[in-house]
Structure 1
Amino acid sequence: MNLLLLSNSTNHGRRRFEHVQDELTSFYGQCEVLFVPYALADHDAYTEAVGDAFARSGVTVRGLHTAPDPLAALAATEAVFVGGGNTFRLLRALQRGGLLAALRAAVERGARYGGASAGTNLACPTIRTTNDMPIVQPDGFEALGLIDFQINPHYLDAPPDSTHMGETRAQRIAEFLEENDVPVLGLREGAWLRADGVTTVLHGRDAVLFRRGREAEEIAAGTDLAPLMAEPPDQCISDG
């Protein structure tokens, strides 16, 4: 399994995917990428924009929505990229098109999977650590389960001088862990993961790992997360 999971597609002051331009070339090589645009409403415009950005890395893109038979397209593809946007809309579109299982099967047989933001959320066991507003109601929150932990893309550290009285991102993740015993990686802007089924290496910049019953842990770029995710929890927390 080959995964490229980006926190974001655009860094401040830079063009779309410019911060991972070389990474896209390395990851996709000469493959034509089947782009999944369902997280935004305008599929044609989104595919064109991503195609232009990927072209700078020497990678060609074709929109899944243009395929006469999307299931057949997924069955035949060597590479996919799932774009960011609204995760709830993305998941519902895949569910209603009968495409979620087909996308999972494509990756399991060897197709390369890339995603940014919502596309990264989709690689997790569920989408329950997305930041997005539920603008539509999917048929459940189960996602692809390509990794065995959750990711919170666009993770933001609370400014020390903030007067905002709402929950910080860390507090929201802590609430998630009160109800779910699965690690959550806070993936800051400009960070990404490369996973090959054996290692899961953090790139770009540092991230924050949240685990039930433990203090949040800063993870340095270059770290293989696989051993950390395999560690047993420090303590058990009863549901009853």
Structure 2
Amino acid sequence: MSQEKCVRRLLLLSSSCLHGCAPFEYAKEDITRFFGSGVKEILFIPYALKDHNDYLEKTRKRFADIGLPYNVFGIHEAASPVEAVKKASAIFIGGGNTFRLLKSLYDLNLIQPIRKRILEEGIPYMGSSAGTNVATVSINTTNDMPIVHPPSLEALTLVPFNINPHYIEPDPNTTHMGETRDERIFEYVDLDTSHPVLGLKEGSWLLVEGSKALVQGPNGGRLFIGKDQVKDIPTGSDVSYLMEGKTCS
């Protein structure tokens, strides 16, 4: 499939929570608008955490508490995870440990079925934190520790670049002597110059429709392009130029 025919619809949240708000509350209107009136049930993939049932129930409660009107079905409740993906009208992958999440997607042979549903059939995909990480080219820019080892760090490649969720700017007044988030991301782009990294601050998200991409939410982000090349991305910025890579073939 050519880039021009790509029908992907993505809502990639930096985080589920924003200080002072209930989970997902800060993005409630945009989540509702994104899924639209046609989506009644969302397939939830809880593999980023160990206890899938607990994570599912918490997500159902969080949605209900703020009035998100969706039936949330856990993929682990299905007899066949692959068939659940094939039948889903929408997919949501939540946060947790990105390495655990990606390993499960590989172990259960879900990478290609999810890509097909999103890139070819156009069902909406929402990710949060780790779920946003796996929507990108790789999980090389996750903040998590490698508590398990997936067969590859290559992810779903629903977008042709990487994202760093929970991005936080360096504090010029800190006495902490460890590396800043900027320094760690620069270490990556210094080696991989073909994949820029979009740092999304908490409370911000990337909305993708086909080849169009907008950074939304209250806090914006920062784009890392190469060694010491950085660009602040205010909320409302059109970053469709990042979508020029071929992700729909």
- TM-score by length of structure 1 reads 0.93
* Partner residue, 1:28: 35
Greater displacement, 15-24 / 186-195: 15-24
C-alpha distance in structure 2 between counterparts of 1:168 and 1:230, whole Å:
29
State the alpha-carbon separation in 2 of the partners of residues 59 and 133 from structure 1.
32
How far does residue 227 in structure 1 lie from its aligned partner after superposition?
2.2
Is 1:161 aligned to residue 170 of structure 2? no
Work out which of the residue numbers 113, 116, 122 in structure 1 matches 2:125. 113
Identity, % of aligned positions: 45
Is residue 2:70 matched to residue 1:59?
yes
In the other structure, the counterpart of 2:231 is 217
Distance 1:228 1:125 in 2: 12
Structure with the greater relative contact order (CA < 8 A, sep ≥ 6): 1 or 2?
A: 2
2:50 corresponds to which letter in structure 1?
A
Counterpart among 81, 85, 103 of residue 96 in structure 2:
85
The answer to whether the 8 A contact 2:211-2:243 is kept is: no
Please provide the CA RMSD for this pair.
Answer: 1.4
Mapping of residues 63-78 of structure 1, within 5 Å: 63-78=74-89
Are the counterparts in 2 of residues 29 and 59 from structure 1 also a CA contact under 8 Å?
no
Q: Where do residues 99-178 of structure 1 align in structure 2 (5 Å cutoff)?
A: 99-108=110-119, 109-178=121-190
Structure 1 unaligned regions, length at least 5: 232-240
Whether the 8 Å CA contact 1:47–1:63 is kept in 2: the answer is yes
In the alignment, does 2:189 pair up with 1:189? no
Name segments (4+ residues, structure 1) moved above 4 Å.
228-231
What secondary structure, in the 3-state scheme, does the structure 1 residue paired with 2:23 have?
A: coil
The equivalent of 1:97 in structure 2 is: 108
SS of residue matched to 2:229: coil
SS in 1 for 2:182: helix
SS of residue paired to 1:185 = strand
Say which is worse superposed, 139-148 or 11-20, in terms of deviation. Answer: 11-20
Query: Deviation digits for residues 177-217 of structure 1, max 9, x if unmatched?
Result: 11101110110010001101121000012210110156311
CA contact 1:54–1:60 (8 Å) conserved in 2: no
User: Residue 189 and residue 151 in structure 1: after superposition, are their counterparts in 2 closer, same or farther (change >3 A)?
Assistant: same
- TM-score, scaled relative to structure 2: 0.89
For the structure 1 residues 202 and 171, does the alpha-carbon distance in structure 2 shift closer, same or farther, using more than 3 Å as the test? same
- Give the structure 2 partner of residue 8 of structure 1: 15
Aligned-pair CA distance for 1:29: 2.6
For the residue of structure 2 that corresponds to 1:216, the secondary structure is strand
Deviates more, 1:96-105 or 1:115-124: 96-105
Relative distance call for 1:219 and 1:16 in structure 2 (3 A) is: same
Aligned with 2:125: secondary structure?
Answer: strand
1:40 — aligned with what?
A: 49
Residue matched to 1:207: 221
